[in-house]
Each structure stands twice: as structure tokens, then as C-alpha cells.
Chains A and B, each alone.
Chain A
Amino acid sequence: MTTRDRARRIGRAGMAVTLLGLAGLAGVYVRALAYTPVERSQGAAQKIFYVHVPAAWSALVAISVTGLLSILYLWLKDRRIDLAAAASAEVGVAFATIMLTTGPIWGKPIWGTWWTWDARLTSTLFLFLLFVGYLVLRGVLTDPGIRGRFSAVIGIMGLVLVPFIHLTVYLFRTLHPAPIVLKPSAPSLPGVMLVTLFSSLGVFTVLYVGFMMQRYALGLLRELREEELAGAAG
């Protein structure tokens, strides 16, 4: 099987996984909106949590994967690893966009403001802009070696930021709620809400995998195309 055939197969499998994820998302929406109770103090706005938290989870997983693959790339210098890191970065930006739009929609009724420059929100926005910069840089640099090396440095910076962002709610005075699941003690959420949250986390993880496979296949096919053009010109 040629690399092109393999890339196409990965792309098709990624599309199937994505469609499965989107079907799962419809199920999560029905469960969250119709079958999960309304929280007493926050009301209906609390249900944004079932979209915001999984989007944040997928974004931070995607950015961590980019960072880890960036370390691997600098070590092994394999261009496929660089392509996978870039794929994860783009998917991470998509999920981070959901995180950064649903957060303020929740903040307005609960905090009385769309945005506040506290440590959690500011560091998350910084991470998002860092990865937008990562994608812009990759679009500008034409030499694959320089592109891979420079973007790997940014990818590793993102990886360092992920645990810092998680800990900001403990290290600084912040309006953002502390974690209610990813914490040393037991999750402080009723079982029925926890099931909805974990279902959504599962669906967003499936979507991450599907997007990642498609974006990796796209990168691979683009690189093959560039090689063909370079071969034809040379």
C-alpha cells in the first residue's frame, strides 16, 4: 500500500469516527437538555458546563499531544511526527474556540460579566493565541525542517502551560470555579450529572480522535503533493 493510499484510508476512517462522534454529540445534547436536572443555584446556565468542560478537556489534550509529539520530533526528526503535532494543534484550536466562547456565555448570567482578566481566563486566552500563532507560523514557513523545528518549540511551550492553567485556580485568586472532577477528592457532582459529563467527555474525545485522523491524513496528502510538484519542477 502506498503512502497516499494509507493517508486516504486514515482520512476515511477519521471521517467515520467523526460522524460517530457527532451522532454521540446529538445524544449528549438530548441527555443534557432533557434528562439531566437543572442545578438549583445556577439554573439552566449550569448546563453549559456539559459542553464547556469537555471542550476544554479536548483542547488541553490536543495541545498536550502537540507538545509531546514536538519533543519526539526534535529527538527523532521524523516529518510524520511533525505533521501529527500540527494536526493536533489545529484540532486543539477548534476545541479551544468552543471553550472560549461557551465560557463567557456562562459567565454573563453567573458572574454578571462576559470576561474578567483573572489568571485562569487570561492564561487560557494566551494559550489559544499561542496556538493560533503556531498555525500562522506553519503557514508562513516553507522549509519543512525550519517549520518543524520552530513550531515544535511553540508546541513544547504549550505543553508547559497546560498544568499551569489547571493549577491557576489554586495558585491565584480567580473567579473561575475550581475543578469538581479532576481533583484529589471525590467528584462533587450528583451521579446523574456526572454520567452526562462523562458521556460528553467521551464524545468530545471521540471527536478529537476523528478530527486528528482526518487532519493528519490531510497533512500527509499535502506533503505528498508538494513532493510531487517539487519532483516535477526539478
Chain B
Amino acid sequence: MILVIAEQRDGKLNRATWETIAAAQQLAAATSGPITVVVPGAGVQTVAKELAAAEVKEVVTVENPALEPYTPDGFTAALQAAITELAATHVLLPHTYQTRDFAPKLAARMDRALLTDVTGIRSAGADTAFVRPMFQGKLTADVVPQGPAPHFVTFQIGAYRADQAAKGASPAPMRALTVAVDAAAIREKPEPPFQQAKQAVDLSQAERIVSVGRGIKEQANIALAQKLAEALGAEIAASRPICDAGWLPMERQVGSSGQTVAPKLYLALGISGAIQHLVGMKGASTIVAINKDPDAPIFEVADYGIVGDLFEIVPAIIEAVKQ
């Protein structure tokens, strides 16, 4: 039995749960074990219903007033009981902050192996190996957990795609599992979640970014970049001189003195690529640069580079995207 521990807050599912279900489905294919999704908390029916769309054996809610709000003591007690009751072979969790908080405690309590930040599953002979980064990401290791089941595995966010989780033909059956949680034994007294005053624009979460540099020449031309951003469903960002000039707000500045971003697509328009800018966007998966200077340093890091006039190229791209 493969368990997936779902994560929710205030009745809203954390999308990383779907990624973990996708991982569980790959593991299930290799080990032919059924998947059960466990939804701990209080008032989690809506979330459980949403998850029942997945191709899994069943969805089990573990509800108890003591589980709301989240505490590591409460979750450890409830999940230990549930995991034992459901006779799990693997317990899969998304590698969220909440998981990082209670999973080590839970695994230690049950004296079982815990593999964290896993990015993939691979067969290793008769065994199943879990791939995880080591030494600050310099190496990846195939790790086979030892010792008696269940084995705990947490999956790096984004390692699996949520939309790859297979949906069932009909909703999976749901049932409730009652576990005893001694509210008096919970030592933590959580305060309301603290939300840091967020920047109005959080570019670090953007999937696509269209970024403009001094090559845009005039403030009026920002509109062109904005059109491209709209066509691509991208956020607009800029290098320092654009924000200094007030053509875009400071919060849209990317670089060592602005935000650090890691989108899937970074489109650099007329950005020369000074190193303070590059260090702010080096994490982008695909970098496309348009610059008329073939010697611009941005081409050193770009996956695709177009040497030419952005005022000719950008409208053509907008057209192409619209088609």
C-alpha cells in the first residue's frame, strides 16, 4: 500500500499534492501496490473530493479537531496511527515546509527510513531507487531505502508535474478513518500564520518573464514588451536602468539588486547582460535573448539568441504567438 499524504490549508489543497500523486502512480507501476491518499486535518471534505478524481484506490480522510491548526505533535500522532492502521509500504509526501517540519519527527518516531527532496524514481535491479540531489546539487544519488517498511519519501516541488497525475474514470471511493489525538499532549500553540508583507509583484513565482533593458530606448516602447508579455501570459520585468528611469516600478527589477527569478522562460529584450543582472536570472530554464550587439554578454548565457532589432523581431513574435 502506497500512501500519499495530502496537504491543505483552510480547506484549500496544496497543488504539490498532485505532483506527489503523479510520483506515487509511477511507484505503483513499478511495485504494483495500490495508492491511498490520506487527507489529515479538520473540515477537509472538499479537498478529499477534489483528490478523489485521481486514479487511486481510495481517499481516506483523517479528521480530528486537534489537527486544526497544524501542529507537528498533532500530525505526528494522527499520521502514525493512520499509517499503522493502513499497513503502508511507502509514505509519499510533497517536500513542502510543513512536511519538512513533521516528517523527520514522524519517521524517527516510527524508526523508519526517510528520503527527502527526491526528484525521481528509478528501478535498480530488484529494488526501487529514489533519485535525490546531494552536496548542494553537485551530484545526484540513487538511494534505496533500507530497513522495514514503511519508507518515507518526500518529493521536490516541481520534480513531477501535477498535470501528469492520472485521473480515474470515476471518482475514487472515500472513507473516514477515526484516530485518537490527545489534544492535551500537543505542546505547540501556534499563532495565526504570519504573512510577510509581500511585494506586490512576486516575480520569483512567474513561469514566464519578458524582461526589458536599455535597448528598449524609450518609455513608450515598454508597451510593445507588455504586448508580448500578454501574448505569452508572462510577467514583465526589467534591468536596473529601466527601473531607475521609472519606466517600470522598482519591484520589477531583476538582478543582484532586484529580485532573483527562475522562470521556465526568460525573454531578454535589449538587455546587455551585465553580471549583476545575470546572477538574478541564471536559474531560468530557457533564456531567449534579443539584442542588436552580437558581443553582448547576455548571449553567453542564452539558450537561444537573436541578433537583431527588437522592434522588428518582437512584433513578429507577437504575431506568431497569436497564431
Q: Do A and B come from one complex?
A: no
